[in-house]
């Protein structure tokens, strides 16, 4: 109820992190194209298998002088997987301890999401393109609550037997068939394109297997380099198109890996992929890092080592677009801020900071990977502060979602989204 939202507002106000004014508005008026790299892990960047780079296109974008590439960026999803990533990126609200927030609360909750903010503040046209079925993760309803103008799901695409694999259209076909929709999008647009081919168990038809499988003997791991390579080729084709059409000149690209691909149950295979003798829970946290790459013509790029996560993407993008998120209920902060707290909460209460990593209840030294068994008084104090912050933010975020608290509070300028204003199916009038 109303007093709950007051507690949330007071906490966020007290912990507000000032965005980096050097970057405020540098992307103002640009299109925003979010490219959701399904199950794409950071270790793939610059990774070679049998002397061949697995992801040459993304490597090039990662190292570009116009890219802000975050190499200490972590996924923070829970059981909601892709939908938790979407909930975080669109709202800077965490997914839930169990289940999918987007499925359970996406239809009925009030949100103040990226599409609504950008359309109300800056007149953006907003859209999602995804070669999967519209109802998966309740997207067809949640996107209306988020205020997306358009949602091009599988029923908008030409689909034939060998066009799809796993959860939807193969990425190269998806990107290619998205072109007519992209071309008709009024600018400036905020567009999210969701890929699927690089998804467990990483199957791919022979003609598309253009890099050999790894030989760890773990069949759900050995296909990963093939589907990652395929996704990278698809990204390469999309970049060619964006260059040819001039869209690269006026579009800020945001690539992110939504969560890990190889789960924590494949330590032996993961060790082999990395050429490591041992591989423990701490190694797995490093291994499951995902990339965040913000690429835009004219952007002063760098490899940015700030520790952050998916909860921080929206505040970072809003600052780049010149939109202040002051007074908004967002649990993340600008990753470019000099005051970034660098505490990356995990949905289960674990966390990563530049000094400490808490995983499965154990503490490690983030720099050395050494397990901390005897904690000094100072370490105990620091760790209890961090634990406190993590559990407080997760529980406040849960209260916002489970209590649907945004219906009690909005910034003055924000107009609540009416889901009945949106319809996505071609057949709907």
Binding site for Mn ion (CB under 5 A): 38, 81-82, 258
Q: Which is nearer to Mn ion, 227 or 319 (CB)?
A: 227
Choose one: 154-162, 193-201, 293-301, 393-401; the region binding ligand GP9 (CB under 6 A): 193-201
The residue number with the shortest CB distance to Mn ion is: 82
3-state secondary structure of 193: strand
Radius of gyration of the chain (CA): 21
368 marked among binding-site residues: no
Is 409 a binder of ligand GP9 (CB under 6 A)? no
Given Mn ion, ligand GP9, none, residue 279, with its beta carbon under 5 to 8 Å by kind, binds none
Q: Which is nearer to ligand GP9, 36 or 172 (CB)?
A: 36
The answer to whether 226 and 209 have CB atoms below 8 angstroms apart is yes
Is 196 a binder of ligand GP9 (CB under 6 A)? yes
Of residues 339, 369, 375, the one with CA closest to residue 355: 369
Rounded to whole angstroms, what are the CA distances from 314 to 94, 146, 183? 12, 13, 25
Residues ≥6 apart with Cβ < 8 Å to 192: 33, 34, 36, 127, 128, 129
> Given 82, 125, 197, 316, which residue is catalytic?
82
Extended strands (E) in 320-379 = 344-345, 351-352, 356-359, 362-365
258 marked among binding-site residues: yes
Is 73 a binder of ligand GP9 (CB under 6 A)? no
Taking the complex as a whole, the smallest distance from the CB of residue 82 to ligand GP9 amounts, in Å, to 3
How wide is the angle at C-alpha 316 spanned by C-alphas 315 and 319, nearest 5°? 85
Rounded to whole angstroms, what are the CA distances from 199 to 168, 253, 366? 10, 22, 29
3-state secondary structure of 188: coil
Q: Which of 81, 229, 289, 358 binds ligand GP9 (CB under 6 A)?
A: 81
Q: Is 197 a known active-site residue?
A: no
Taking the complex as a whole, the smallest distance from the CB of residue 396 to ligand GP9 amounts, in Å, to 25
Taking the complex as a whole, the smallest distance from the CB of residue 38 to ligand GP9 amounts, in Å, to 6
38 marked among binding-site residues: yes
3-state secondary structure of 364: strand
Q: Which of 167, 255, 351, 422 binds ligand GP9 (CB under 6 A)?
A: 167
Other residues' Cβ atoms within 10 Å of the Cβ of residue 20: 17
Catalytic residues: 82
Q: Which residues are annotated as a binding site for Mn(2+)?
A: 38, 82, 258-259
Binding stretches for ligand GP9 (CB under 6 A): 81-82, 132, 136, 167, 194, 196, 199
Q: Which residues are annotated as a binding site for substrate?
A: 199
């Amino acid at each position: 109820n109303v007093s709950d939202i007051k507690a949330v507002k007071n906490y966020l106000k007290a912990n507000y992190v000032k965005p980096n004014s050097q970057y405020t508005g540098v992307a103002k008026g640009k299109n925003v194209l979010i490219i959701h790299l399904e199950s794409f892990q950071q270790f793939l960047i610059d990774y070679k298998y049998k002397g061949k780079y697995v992801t040459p296109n993304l490597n090039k974008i990662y190292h570009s002088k116009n890219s802000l590439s975050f190499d200490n960026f972590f996924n923070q999803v829970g059981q909601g997987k892709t939908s938790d990533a979407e909930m975080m990126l669109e709202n800077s609200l965490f997914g839930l301890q169990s289940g999918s927030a987007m499925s359970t609360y996406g239809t009925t909750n009030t949100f103040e999401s990226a599409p609504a903010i950008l359309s109300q503040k800056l007149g953006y046209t907003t859209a999602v393109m995804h070669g999967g079925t519209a109802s998966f993760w309740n997207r067809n309803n949640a996107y209306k609550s988020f205020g997306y103008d358009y949602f091009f799901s599988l029923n908008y695409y030409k689909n034939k037997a060998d066009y799809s694999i796993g959860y939807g259209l193969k990425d190269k076909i998806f990107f290619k068939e998205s072109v007519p929709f992209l071309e008709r999008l009024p600018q400036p647009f905020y567009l999210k394109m969701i890929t699927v081919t690089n998804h467990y168990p990483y199957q791919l038809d022979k003609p598309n297997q253009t890099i050999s499988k790894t030989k760890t003997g773990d069949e759900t791991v050995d296909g990963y380099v093939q589907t990652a390579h395929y996704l990278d080729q698809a990204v390469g084709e999309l970049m060619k198109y964006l260059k040819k059409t001039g869209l690269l000149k006026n579009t800020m690209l945001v690539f992110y890996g939504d969560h890990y691909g190889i789960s924590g149950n494949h330590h032996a295979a993961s060790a082999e992929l990395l050429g490591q003798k041992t591989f423990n829970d701490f190694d797995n946290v490093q291994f499951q890092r995902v990339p965040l790459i913000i690429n835009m013509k004219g952007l002063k790029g760098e490899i940015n080592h700030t520790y952050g996560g998916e909860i921080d993407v929206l505040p970072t993008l809003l600052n780049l677009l010149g939109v202040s998120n002051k007074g908004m209920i967002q649990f993340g902060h600008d990753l470019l801020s000099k005051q970034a707290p660098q505490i990356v909460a995990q949905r289960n209460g674990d966390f990563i900071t530049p000094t400490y990593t808490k995983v499965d209840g154990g503490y490690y030294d983030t720099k050395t990977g050494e397990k901390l068994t005897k904690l000094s008084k100072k370490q105990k104090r620091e760790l209890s502060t961090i634990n406190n912050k993590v559990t407080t933010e997760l529980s406040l975020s849960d209260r916002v979602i489970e209590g649907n608290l945004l219906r009690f509070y909005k910034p003055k300028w924000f107009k609540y989204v009416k889901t009945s204003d949106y319809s996505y199916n071609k057949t709907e009038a």
